[in-house]
Amino acid sequence: MEETMNFAIIGTGAVGGYYGGLLCRHGFEVHFLLRGDYVHVQEKGLTIDSKDGSFRLKQVNAYCRASDMPRCDVVIVALKTTANDRLAGILPHVVKPGGVVVALQNGLGVEKTIQEIVPDATVIGGLCFLCSNKIGPGHIHHLDFGSVRLGQYRADGAAAGITPELRQVADAFSAAGISVDLAEDLALARWQKLVWNMAFNGVTVVLNATTDQLMADPSALALVRGIMEEVVAGARACGHPLDENFIEIMIAATKNMVAYRPSMMLDFEAGRELEVEEIYRLPISMAAAAGVAMPRSETIALQLEFLDRRNRG
């Protein structure tokens, strides 16, 4: 499959536009599904401003209807999770029999949703360590980082190990210049990423402060740390043994990071719906079912829901 592997990008925004753009630039056949930017991208292509080297793709395969797209070997889902209710009308049209779907999204539960829609597909989860933003029609600004951790989904939540499909997708990403590492246990990797996302995505919105401002203030840092402790406890109760010193690793990494607005803060500022369900509600309810309460995270989730409703009228 590798030589002729073709890709569909479902949601050509900060993540889909960036990684899809890199795959396309490398020479892979890539088909982009768009919404608001369709006419612009069909006429003018995609522009990627990147700290690793900017580039323009003058002509791309652009679509506004999934039913017009060819079936692809690898379908990359890069919608906001708030749009995942659209996937049932999209994926059955674009996934080749025996194909692979890669969910490049934050939070929990996204692979389960996808597997239920396309039961015969191999489903892979992708965790993006990326700072990217769509700043105009077909115009992506990649600010920092860019690596992806890929792991294969299993419905029972057990570690799937490193499968041939996982390697094939990783090889294609690497060939396109994307830094990839492989997770033997996708569920563990998703909880690890939540340690950062549950602490920073919501708190930056609620306190209207960037990551560096939170790190510099003892009260905000105590809140961040407290949420991280809850996530580690929740993960452990759900059978994913996160190490206690993982928190210190995340804190140290954030201290060394540039002042940053996580994707949820960017969504809030742009008036977009917040990904509260997958980043907060699902982990909180899974931890509760396993006997662990997450009171700080619950409070942040309630505040986010209020702010989100008010923000979007």
Ligand X SMILES: CC(C)(CO)C(=O)C(=O)O
Residues forming contacts to ligand X in the complex (CB under 6 A) are: 106, 129-131, 145, 196-197, 201, 262-263
SS3 assignment, position 80: coil
Catalytic positions are: 193
| 196, interface contact from ligand NDP, ligand X, none, CB < 5-8 Å by kind | ligand X
CA 256 – CA 264 distance, rounded (Å)? 20
Closest residue to ligand X, judged by C-beta, is: 263
Query: Whose Cβ is closer to ligand NDP: residue 292's or residue 308's?
Result: 308
3-state secondary structure of 87: helix
Cβ distance 28 to 58 under 8 Å?
A: no
CA distance 313 to 308: 8
- Contact between 132 and ligand NDP per CB under 6 A: yes
Residue 6 or 263: the one with the smaller Cβ distance to ligand X is: 263
Q: Is 87 in the site for ligand NDP (CB under 6 A)?
A: no
C-alpha triplet 189, 78, 197: angle, nearest 5°: 40
Partner in contact with 11, chosen from ligand NDP, ligand X, none, beta carbon below 5 to 8 Å by kind: ligand NDP
Task: Check binding of 100 to ligand NDP (CB under 6 A).
Answer: no
CB-CB contact of 163 with 130 (8 Å): no
Residue 80 sits in the site that holds ligand NDP (CB under 6 A): yes
| Torsion, Cα of 34, 36, 37, 38 (10° steps) | 60
The residue nearest ligand NDP at its CB is 13
- 216 or 259, CB closer to ligand X? 259
125 makes contact with ligand NDP (CB under 6 A):
no
